[in-house]
A and B are shown apart, each in its own frame.
Chain A
Amino acid sequence: MVALFPLKSVIIIIIIIMATVEDVLESVTQSQASKYKTIEVQKDIEPQLDLGNLLTVDQNPLDLKKLRGDKEAYLKSQARDNTQLLFNAIWKLPTERVEEAICVKLPETTTVLPREKPIPKAKLQTKWEQYALLKGIQKRKKGRMVWDEEAKDWRPRWGYKRANDETKDWVIEVPGNADPNEDQFEKRMKAKKERVAKNELQRLRNIARGTKSKVPGVGLTPTEKPSKEEVGLALHLAKKSTASLGKFTEKLPKEKEAKHVGKKRKFEPAIGDFKKEKEQQLNIINVMENKKPKMDITKAVNRVMTEVDQEASSDDRRKRAGKVKNRRGPPRKKGSGGFGKKGSGGFGKKGKAGKGKGAKGMGGKGKGMGGKGKGKGKGR
């Protein structure tokens, strides 16, 4: 069939085919472009980017119509757009190649994240720091090295080979008032050791204060002038500080037992002297009874209260009785108070009394009068 076509028509067909090829190519690129979305994203409000945290915050309101339609697709597209924006920003940062990989150094974070762990507690002040704060004593920076006049050299202020080390003196002048047989070198060494020990104890005390635990090893602390009790305790401890816990430590002929020393608790035997036990218990009861106050105040107050009560009630009775007897002179103080009882009491008699009063009480107070009026009515 093709052979039958004239040449001209063949050329035309070819041209048409060429045109369709171009069309197809164009349409393909277009479809590809629509498939791979552009890297440009349009947003009404610029999303906030925190590159340090790789975070995008999009404050644009969501399109409710689309959200109600295909929710998943809409949200996905939103996420894609925002991620695209983030990556656009990342690509704008200066890049470098490290072993065939393109790397970017992220800037400092701008979003403040809450910390995972609680804020560490402030270190507890030592006793000296507290005191210094109270007195306003400032810390002064002291150089580590000090000039040693004798050695003509700079030496550390403290520690090994320190400057002006008084324990290293090769000769010491014996003070005028000192015992000539006393070893002045040893005295200095001892004083130094005491100072170190004291400092160590204070350090431990500060720690103990911070952790609220007991100060370890508080038996005897170095003191300038130990009191009588401290000396006694020191003696007691020294005596007990043997392998046999002082069992064989010799005693002075009239030595007293150390005071304030722990006592071992001791119990009576379960089956012992029953008579003695009974006596002791009765003794305790006697002592308890003697300790009791002679006058029980609450009891006394109660008694007075009862007496007052009884008097009041008997007075009431007398008054009531009096009222019935001499009707003419009733005290006109109780208005409604007296009335309640009267109402509930016998009607006939009081009605009569009420009659008399009613006539008299016309000029009285409203309440009292009304009450009596009622009584009168009932009586009739």
Chain B
Amino acid sequence: MRPLTEDETRTFFEKLSKYIGENIRLLIDRPDGTYCFRLHKDRVYYVSEHIMKRAANVSRENLISMGTCFGKFTKTGKFRLHITALDFLAPYAKYKIWVKPGAEQTFLYGNHILKSGLGRITESTSQYQGVVVYSMSDIPLGFGVAAKSTQECRRTDPMSIVCFHQADIGEYIRAEDTLT
């Protein structure tokens, strides 16, 4: 376990800011205690200081998880967000997509969102903007990338993809063994 280096922090924040913009500040600067990001086995965990200090007592091989896993660094040095980060992405998300009840299931099975399944979308979402996906009853389902801007969404045919799937809460079951 170690803090992120500057380069790692930058790539991590750049990825995170695609979803929550400058709200990362709120994650770092918390009034209710000290929270930090720690790297362990290529995964980035968001932990409170107290838990982290306790976790430091566990040897590297034995430590499986601590706090919340935000995602992992790939072997090529890119950062990939995991579904476990949704709890922190959803409240601060800048751009959102609401999915119609009929299309919820296909999204939760790992499919992209088609125009036909699109309930609502945040105004002025640009193309390739990271978005958090909600059900119509405002339950966060996952996140993805807007395949089309809000403007383009209005014009396209119902079978075209509006949001590329990245992670969904179905992964808690599908990828149970790899999520930490």
| Contact indicator B6/A270 (Cβ below 8 Å) | no
CB distance from A204 to the nearest CB of B (A): 31
Residues of A within 8 A of B34 (CB): 274, 278
Partner of A271, one of B6, B22, B53, B151: B53
Known: A271-B56, A284-B10. A277 touches B36 (CB 8 A): yes
We find that the number of chain B residues with CB closer than 8 angstroms to chain A is 29
Of residues 14 to 31 in B, which have CB atoms within 8 Å of A's CB atoms? 14, 17, 22, 24-25, 28-29
Known: A288-B17, A302-B126, A305-B151. A282 touches B9 (CB 8 A): no
Known: A298-B126, A299-B126. A282 touches B1 (CB 8 A): no
Residues of B within 8 A of A305 (CB): 151
Known: A277-B36, A288-B13, A305-B151. A272 touches B3 (CB 8 A): yes
| Contact indicator A298/B13 (Cβ below 8 Å) | no
| Contact indicator A285/B25 (Cβ below 8 Å) | yes
Q: Tell me whether B180 is interfacial, beta carbon within 8 Å.
A: no
| Contact indicator A281/B17 (Cβ below 8 Å) | no
Of chain B, the residue at the smallest CB distance from A304 is B151
The proximity string for A residues 270-293 relative to B, scoring 1 for CB distances below 8 Å and 0 otherwise, is 111010011011101100110000
Please report the C-alpha to C-alpha distance between residue A309 and residue B34 in the assembled complex, in whole angstroms. 48
Partner of B49, one of A265, A274, A296: A274
Residue among B1, B9, B29, B151 having the largest count of chain A Cβ atoms under 10 Å: B151
Please report the C-alpha to C-alpha distance between residue A241 and residue B150 in the assembled complex, in whole angstroms. 64
Q: Tell me whether A36 is interfacial, beta carbon within 8 Å.
A: no
Please report the C-alpha to C-alpha distance between residue A296 and residue B127 in the assembled complex, in whole angstroms. 12
Residues of B within 8 A of A298 (CB): 126-127, 149
Residues of B within 8 A of A285 (CB): 13, 17, 22, 24-25, 28
The proximity string for B residues 81-120 relative to A, scoring 1 for CB distances below 8 Å and 0 otherwise, is 0000000000000000000000000000000000000000
Partner of B150, one of A268, A284, A302: A302
Please report the C-alpha to C-alpha distance between residue A138 and residue B126 in the assembled complex, in whole angstroms. 64
Residue among A268, A270, A278, A296 having the largest count of chain B Cβ atoms under 10 Å: A270
CB distance from A276 to the nearest CB of B (A): 10
CB distance from A286 to the nearest CB of B (A): 9
Please report the C-alpha to C-alpha distance between residue A302 and residue B151 in the assembled complex, in whole angstroms. 6
Residues of A within 8 A of B150 (CB): 302
Q: Tell me whether A328 is interfacial, beta carbon within 8 Å.
A: no
Residues of B within 8 A of A289 (CB): 22
Please report the C-alpha to C-alpha distance between residue A340 and residue B6 in the assembled complex, in whole angstroms. 61
Q: Tell me whether A367 is interfacial, beta carbon within 8 Å.
A: no
Please report the C-alpha to C-alpha distance between residue A280 and residue B49 in the assembled complex, in whole angstroms. 17
Known: A277-B36, A296-B126, A302-B126. A282 touches B3 (CB 8 A): no
Of residues 134 to 151 in B, which have CB atoms within 8 Å of A's CB atoms? 149-151
Partner of B3, one of A265, A277, A284, A302: A277
Q: Tell me whether B59 is interfacial, beta carbon within 8 Å.
A: no
Nearest 6 pairs between A and B by C-beta?
Answer: A298-B126, A267-B2, A268-B3, A305-B151, A302-B151, A270-B1
Interface residues of B (CB under 8 A from A): 1-3, 5-6, 9-10, 13-14, 17, 22, 24-25, 28-29, 34, 36-38, 49, 52-53, 56, 124, 126-127, 149-151
